[in-house]
Copies of this chain bind each other. A is one copy, B any other.
Amino acid sequence: MAELKELTPRSVDYSQWYQDLVIKADMAENSAVRGCMVIKPYGYAIWEKMQAELDRMFKETGHQNAYFPLFIPKSFLSKEAAHVEGFAKECAVVTHYRLKADSEGKGVVVDPAAKLEEELIVRPTSETIIWSTYKNWIQSYRDLPLLINQWANVVRWEMRTRLFLRTAEFLWQEGHTAHATESEALAETKQMLEVYASFAENFMAMPVVKGVKSPNERFAGAVETFCIEGLMQDGKALQAGTSHFLGQNFAKAFDVTFATKEGNRDYVWATSWGVSTRLIGALIMCHSDDNGLVLPPKLAPYQVVIVPIYRSEEQLAQIDGKVAEIVRKLRALGVSVKYDNNDNKKPGWKFAEYELKGVPVRLALGARDLDNGTIEIARRDTLTKETRSIENIEAYVKALLDEIQDNIYQKAFNFRTSVTRTVDSYEEFKVEIEKGGFLLAHWDGTPETEELIKAETKATIRCIPLEGDKTPGKCMVTGKPSAQRVYFARAY
């Protein structure tokens, strides 16, 4: 591996390993604007893959895309009390709409004459602007349900940022739906949780726990927040997606009522749900190794790379011909493939580069292979390679990609299983939490106990799981009754 590409090993400094990897694999970098990242083409290509799959899943469940304004009038944000409380501390605020030449001739300054009557907030999330709009769209039960999603950028002025995981600006999708009944809105909330879980497991190859947030961790303005939680290789949890049941909170804040079938008027029921470019951070931390990215084939910008090994132009021309055939056959099977016959780089450099970039399968073809009718296949997930007959190689590669997708998932699943433990006493909890992973423990359901645990151990309740053991017990801290065990972890 080329020296320049070397990463800090995970065992030495996991956090530095992550930072090295994001930079060296050309995924993203910090910009000149504090806390805002530049998503580079390779990182953005993964986001495009994620978007395509999620968008298809949203449309299959009846949602349509739309677009709402970037700006939110300050007074809108204030209408739902818990909501403004949750977001006010991290808002980018637009106060003026014009610059003018500096009177001292030094560039431009804000024109004080162009002050907005009411400040505009750069959206941290769009519930308020959307519900102020829905008021005009919803008159009767015939206008419901309203099932809308938006792909957008949002801004939350975070003080401590990390590429993909926590940035001042990020890209996301936010679904905002309106329903005639509580039960329908709850069903939608849970449906979208299932969509997220299915995406995480089947595309990202990341097992997730589905659950409900404790009141402390609830979305500002929600009645109930559902979430999926992944576990990273360093034993820390990561919230990968949330789906909120908003009750009638936003309908009441914006006075959105509808004529029911029975001829009454009632407030509309709401949900909202989102995932963001944070998923790219989760993808990296869930699977990658000290050599670089490990990407699940279903989200890899290209699934296969082919590298020619040659000593002469003549050999290269022969290899080019053979590869063209393989590329055509792979593409016919729906496999994305890149052929790198760039003459400026040596095969060893290319091998390291594509390992760093996590390309799932690497094929190498040399002059001797042409003679023997063979080809070398390397797997990124296991770092193993073998030489095989070139006959029908495309079908073999296609099947191998499925196997890699499964293997990556299974590896992450096994890891998570190995670090998920049940603990019964707070003493044990304090020892075990230092080792990372998920701890399943009883909790009395109060914010006070949750806060105490957090203050003393830095662990938070990741969720009250929807599935698994529901046996009641006693809180490990207070001894008070507990309805079921909940997931604790330190988290991103």
Contact = CB atoms under 8 A, between A and B. Distances in A.
Interface of A: 29, 31-33, 36-41, 44-45, 47-48, 64-78, 84, 88-101, 107-108, 110, 119-122, 129, 132-133, 136, 142, 148, 152-153, 155, 157, 169, 171, 344
15 contacts: A31-B133, A33-B72, A36-B71, A45-B65, A47-B67, A48-B65, A70-B155, A74-B108, A88-B100, A89-B98, A91-B98, A92-B94, A93-B96, A94-B95, A142-B344
Contacts of A74: 99, 107-108, 110
A42 to B, nearest CB: 8
A65 B49 CA distance: 12
Number of copies: 2
Q: Which of A64, A66, A73, A148 has the most CB of B within 10 A?
A: A66
B99 A89 contact: yes
The interface residues of chain A, by DSSP majority, are classed as: mixed
B84 A107 contact: yes
A44 B38 CA distance: 26
Nearest to A100: B88
Given A74-B99, A84-B107, A66 B94 contact: no
A157 B71 CA distance: 12
Could you say which of A41, A142, A157 has the most chain B C-beta atoms within 10 Å of its C-beta?
A41
A136 B32 CA distance: 11
A153 B70 contact: yes
Given A44-B65, A92-B96, 4 more contacts: A33-B73, A37-B69, A38-B68, A44-B67
Contacts of A36: 69-71
Contacts of A38: 66-69, 133
A80 to B, nearest CB: 11
A23 to B, nearest CB: 11
Contacts of A107: 74-75, 78, 84
B68 A31 contact: yes
B157 A97 contact: yes
A54 to B, nearest CB: 14
Contacts of A92: 71, 94, 96-97, 120
B142 A69 contact: no
A33 B129 contact: yes
A158 to B, nearest CB: 10
Contacts of A72: 33
A121 to B, nearest CB: 7
A75 B33 CA distance: 11
Given A41-B64, A66-B40, A97 B93 contact: yes
A88 B122 CA distance: 19
